[in-house]
Amino acid sequence: MSVRSRALLLAGVLTLVGCGTGGLTLDGDGGQTPESGDGTDAQAAALAESATSAPVTVPLIERIPEPGIGLGALELDGYAVPILQRVVGGWVVLSPCGNEVEVTGGVERVAAHVVVDPDSGAAPIARAIERRLAETGVSTVLSRWTDVSIDASTRARLAETSGAHVFVSLRLVAGDSSAAGPADVAVVHQIDNEESRRLGGLVYAELEAALDSLGPAWPALEDPGVHPLLNQRGTDYFVVLRETGDAAAVVVDIPGLGAPATIALLSTSDGQAAIADAVATAIEQFLGSQASGSGYVDPVELVRDAPTGGSEGECNDPLLPPPIDE
């Protein structure tokens, strides 16, 4: 085959490969241009060299693994619950209080790449994260988007039944406003899980930059940085880190509820969008690359007494009928 033919064939292949938009850029190796007395062959060889060094874009959705196999999640009135079984006319689910309950209404979500688990204050941010991730084809299940109490075990189980690779629990916390200063974030990762630790570092790096860009002084946190938190039994303190199965899980604390200025900022669409974009970017980096973050704390061993699991106190289950007064 002549040099020109080889060059045109190679250029055609690279054109097909480079048809995607958005995502990772791969740089090819430049080729050698063979000597030729034919001007046409020399031009073809130059084209081949140019084509092999041109960037090739691979969309994010083509670089991330598909969700795992599970029964899915059921979206109800402001929250989602794990599906345990499909039955005629409905589903058996794990209720907000951890009971197995049969229900007939709701919206079934078969699978998702990510579960975002916000507290009530972070619910608008979680919605914005869901929208932002959808732009690149990453699917998300939210544990809740209204002010409803859900047992931690129920929320954690969503990762398994959705086949999610990522579980992010997002909390807005008070912090110490008397020691306000540059933004800081606390991210707790799973003990002995390098992927959870990597996810935590990526979330930390993106959130630090986002909060700093918003301007005001932020309340200080007691244990900022990326680290595990253990209970007295030597396992993960948080239920949502112990019971999320194979998903890389983190708990993220964002300061801001301790001072009027940051409370107001977190209530604005701009403030919420900045935080949501930071978390979404970190998740995309985690799923689509081997990037690592920052903020890792050494020494890392922090211990706090913890209950055996689940939510403490009485739980009023919205999926169960109220008790009948005798």
User: What one-character DSSP code corresponds to residue 16?
Assistant: H
295 in any annotated domain: no
Q: Where are the alpha helices (DSSP H) in 239-315?
A: 239-242, 260-266, 269-288
User: What is the reported pTM?
Assistant: 0.80
Q: Are residues 279 and 143 in the same domain?
A: yes
Which residues, given as ranges, of the chain have pLDDT below 70? 1-56, 299-301, 306-313, 322-326
Identify whether residues 115 and 238 lie together within a single domain: yes
Tell me the H-state helices in 215-268. 239-242, 260-266
Q: What is the pLDDT of residue 206?
A: 97
Positive or negative, the Cα torsion across 148, 98, 141, 186? Answer: positive
Q: Using the 3D structure, point to which of 38, 58, 78 is the last residue of a domain.
A: 58
CATH number at residue 165: 3.40.630.40
Taking only the tens place, the pLDDT of each residue in 197-238 is: 999 999 999 999 999 998 778 898 989 999 999 999 999 999
| Rounded Cα distance, 185 and 202, in Å | 12
Please tell me the predicted confidence (pLDDT) of residue 184. 87
pLDDT of amino acid 55:
58
Of 14, 149, 160, 3, the closest CA to residue 79 belongs to: 149
> How many domains, the chain?
2
Domain boundary among 21, 42, 58: 58
With b for 16 or more beta-carbon neighbours within 10 A and e for fewer, the 86-105 pattern comes to eeeeebbbbbbbbeebebee
Is 325 domain-assigned? Answer: no
d(CA 247, CA 245): 6
CB 113 within 8 A of CB 125: no
Q: Give the CA count within 13 Å in the CB-facing half-sphere of 258.
A: 19
Of all residues in the chain, the percent with pLDDT exceeding 90 is 60
Q: Which domain holds residue 35?
A: 3-58
Angle CA(289)–CA(295)–CA(299) in degrees, nearest 5? 120
How many beta carbons lie within 10 A of that of residue 234, not counting itself?
A: 9
**Mind listing the pLDDT tens digit for each residue in 86-95?**
999 999 999 9
